[in-house]
Structure 1
Amino acid sequence: MNRIIRGENLAALRKLAAGSVELIYIDPPFNTGTTQQRKRMKAVRDVAGDRTGFGGHRYRTETLEAMPVYADAFEDYLGFLRPRLEEAHRVLTPTGSLFFHIDPREVHYCKVLLDEVFGSRACFQNEIIWAYDYGARSKKRWPGKHDNILWYTKNPKEYTFRLEASDRIPYMAPGLVGAAKAARGKTPTDVWWHTIVSPTGKEKTGYPTQKPLGVLERIVRVHSNPGETVLDFFAGSGTTGVAAAKNGREYILIDESAEAVKVMRQRLKALAKA
């Protein structure tokens, strides 16, 4: 079942069988109006270099080939999303879930669209706030340090929610709950504090919009069962597939970028060998 599909996602979705996928996570372009690209750099030891590193040694930075580039701007963003979300609804099993990752500028419009696609506001279960604390800080407004993840279910009352499978997090005031509870930790709420992918960490692939594995693993563990299928049709760096594979789920990953597909294959091949 595990598949990586390079292609236009709407066309690929239309080839999937109805009711064949238990869980969908997507992180579509956010319609920021910018071009998304991340440069890859290499530091080479050079006494005439442009920066100083460990031990006072001088290094020269070299720019390697750029990671995938895409224009994150749409004249009709909701018109772009609607047919893809309609197909997502079609391929979900009767008890399946969709997680839609977006930012605060577009989330209100996307929620109204999802209410329409799923046919009932009752199919909306949660808005999860993924909060992080990294990067530049604006001096003209409160710095934006969160994304929004909308959780919808195909059936408003019957769906997979395995809270016991979730990781646990520290209490903010452990002294108020006692030693036993503090040691065990608590289950997460709808606000998820989790760092972004570290720019210098092993998890980093260089893909411009890579999301952290910890966030995806929590979704996969709680909202699907072992052996079920997880779909991501804006798959990018393949984090959804890695989360699925690590936790005994099947995956279908779709992206039209050759570079994205290359990154996914490398990550999943390395995981299989681990």
Structure 2
Amino acid sequence: MPKPLTQNTLFYGDNLPILREHIPDESIDLIYLDPPFNSNRSYNVLFKDERGEEAEAQIAAFDDTWHWNASAERTFHELIQNAPARVAAMLGALREFVGTNQMMAYLTMMAARLVELHRVLKPTGSLYLHCDPTASHYLKIVMDTIFGPGGYRNEITWKRSSAHSDIKQGRKAYGNIVDILLHYTKTEEYTFNPQFADYDEEYIRKTYNNVDPDGRRWKSSDLTGPGGAAKGNPSYEFMGVTRYWRFSKENMERLLAEGRIHQSSPSAVPRMKHYLDEMQGVSLQNIWDDIPPIGAQAKERMGYPTQKPLALLERIIEASSNEGDVVLDPFCGCGTAVAAAHKLNRRWIGIDITHLSISLMKYRLKDMFGLVEKQDYAVLGEPEDLASARQLARSDRYQFQWWALSLVQAKPLGGGGGREGKKGSDKGVDGVLNFLEEKGKLQRVLIQVKSGHVKSGDIRDLRGVVEREEAAIGAFVTLEPPSNDMVTEAVSVGYFTSKTWQKDYPRIQILTVEDLLAGNGIDMPPSSYGTFKQAGKVKKQEGKQPKLISVA
């Protein structure tokens, strides 16, 4: 049985073993997952037979590729042998129908994870699976089987983009502009806080068509008591009119004193005023078209391809959890669910399989809330010593590069928000840091990361890149210790002088991974300009966020 976590936590790694080894039974109040899946592929590709043994893919790679390979076959057989009988029967039937292809690989991998997510969900909890119409009908079958016939709550349609015409490009189909949110619960006793959307402008214009001198809009309603005396309504004279009324005369006098009763003329029947600004709005339905996608200039935009709007996650979290509850996102990407949970005073757990995503989340939490790793939350699964750093470098040098860049709080270049990145297109720059000099001039620190053999020529190359890019400082991060020639070469470049801080900084700096793990960083002016696109500072809701002690 996993031990309860004691604080908000980010996990690096495959979410399946992490769920099994670290998350206790019935410990999570709300799960949101947006698993990667390439809906842009045609059905012909998704259902193409992929029999045979091929190299095991990085199933969670951000190119959304799921293949029927040795890993999928192993997972399928594990589920057939160990999952509940109804789940095994469902997967067997799906394989007979769907075949061995990308779609079946996706459904198999998701089934394994959904079994674990069902296990960790509290009886009062909810799970929202974010997908699109390409796979939603299959996922619904999987989830109906795992959660049981009574677990389904809603299929929510979110309008994720505006209308766009592909007809000129030869498309013979209706435009795809929606995503699907499948909402399931473990029991009937689930948390649900009704949510409300703003009224339509046309409805406001027609219904709230009265305006007070102070600009407040209102509508009126009947004050007479339906059914008269037979229903026990009191009869008395009020404002020159005798009727059976809804309220006692005392309450009517109070409403009049509060300015909530309107009489159009001395002989007219008084009516009650209802102000627009006091209304909750219209009760939310299962079509959400009031949350726009993240625009190109949006403050919260972080350059992550599948980034979802913060407002979307806030709505889900507010509807299906309460303050202090635990929110889990097992495919957390750039961390929108984690950010929304923290903003709304929920506790949180995020899991992702790339260092790029974990780095992005670290800086998002810092940009939005000023949170500091190890002090305000834990990060598990990353290298913590030189030996594990060497192991990461041997297994995947790009993952090592992204992890090393996170140690100096730099933005990876060439990644473009993707897990595979644009390898070889960085023009000698792996990461960047920014700072502001006098008169708001933006200055840059360029970073190169090397996991293999290093030599003095690498320092000369970095100097050339810094000069070519007109950067202030160049930092060379190396797994291996630098030679004396490298140190001499770096020192010979001289200094960058900050007029703002009236201090000299070495123009070329060499830092080993061992230095960074010891807490040493780049010698540079304070960074006052976010390296990742600023997530937008937010003010947390009132109330101190509780610790994660009661996860179990």
The two structures have a TM-score, normalised by structure 1, of: 0.81
Equivalent residue letter for 2:174: W
Structure 1: tracts of 5 or more residues without a match: 35-67
> After the TM superposition, which residues 219-238 of structure 1 pair with which residues of structure 2 at under 5 Å, given as runs?
219-238=316-335
Greater mean deviation of Cα atoms: 180-189 or 126-135: 180-189
Structure 2: where are the runs of 5+ without partners?
A: 1-6, 42-60, 68-101, 209-217, 219-273, 371-536, 538-552
1:60-209 matches, within 5 Å, as 69-74=62-67, 75=102, 76-120=105-149, 122-134=150-162, 136-139=164-167, 140-155=172-187, 157-163=188-194, 166=195, 168-171=197-200, 173-178=203-208, 179=218, 180=274, 182-183=276-277, 184=279, 185-193=281-289, 194-209=291-306
- The Cα offsets for residues 97-137 of structure 1, whole Å up to 9 and x where unpaired, read as 000000011110000100001122x2100011101333742
Alignment counterpart, residue 258 of structure 1, candidates 352, 355, 359 = 355
Is 1:25 paired with 2:121? no
Once the two structures are overlaid, the 10-residue window that deviates more, 214-223 or 186-195, is 186-195
Q: 2:344 pairs with 243, 247, 253, which one? A: 247
Percent identity, aligned pairs only, is 38
Structure 2 residue matching 1:14: 3-state secondary structure = helix
The 2-side partners of 1:129 and 1:192 are apart by 6
Residues of 2 paired with 1:170 and 1:130: CA distance?
18
Asked if the contact 1:25/1:240 (under 8 Å) is kept, the reply is yes
Distance (whole Å) between structure 2 residues aligned to residue 177 and residue 261 of structure 1: 49
Deviation at 1:32, TM superposition (A): 2.8
Contact 1:167/1:218 (8 A) holds in 2: no
* Distance in 1 (alpha carbons) for counterparts of 2:147 and 2:25: 15
Q: Does 1:3 align with 2:9?
A: yes
Match for residue 54 of structure 1?
A: none
Q: 1:255·1:261 contact (CA, 8 Å) conserved in 2? A: yes
Instruction: Tell me which residue corresponds to 2:315.
Output: 218
Give me the whole-angstrom Cα distance separating, in 1, the residues matched to 2:62 and 2:111. Answer: 23
Q: Shift of residue 267 of structure 1?
A: 0.7
In 1, Cα distance between the equivalents of 2:184 and 2:112?
A: 16
Superposed CA deviations along residues 181-201 of structure 1, whole A, max 9, x for unmatched, are 654332321111121111221
Cα deviations by residue, 1:203-223 (Å, 9 ceiling, x for unpaired): 111111101111000000110
Higher relative contact order (CA 8 A, sep 6+): 1
CA contact (8 A) 1:33 1:71 kept: no
Q: CA deviation at 1:176?
A: 4.7
Q: Is the 8 A contact 1:32 1:73 kept in 2?
A: no
SS at match of 2:127: strand
1:203-258 Cα offsets, whole Å, 9 max, x none, are 11111110111100000011001001000000001000011000000010000111
For 2:179, what is the secondary structure of its paired residue?
Answer: strand
Provide the rounded CA distance (Å) in 1 between the counterparts of 2:19 and 2:308.
Answer: 22
Matching residue of 1:39: none
Instruction: State whether residues 37 and 64 of structure 2, in contact with CA within 8 Å, keep that contact through their aligned partners in structure 1.
Output: no
**Structure with greater Cα Rg:** 2
Q: Alpha carbon RMSD of aligned pairs, Å?
A: 1.8
More strand by share: 1
Residues in 1 aligned to 2:121 and 2:164: alpha-carbon distance in whole angstroms: 39
CA distance in structure 2 between the partners assigned to 1:80 and 1:14 by the alignment: 14
How far apart, CA to CA, are the structure 1 residues paired with 2:275 and 2:334? 37
User: What is the TM-score with the length of structure 2 in the denominator?
Assistant: 0.41
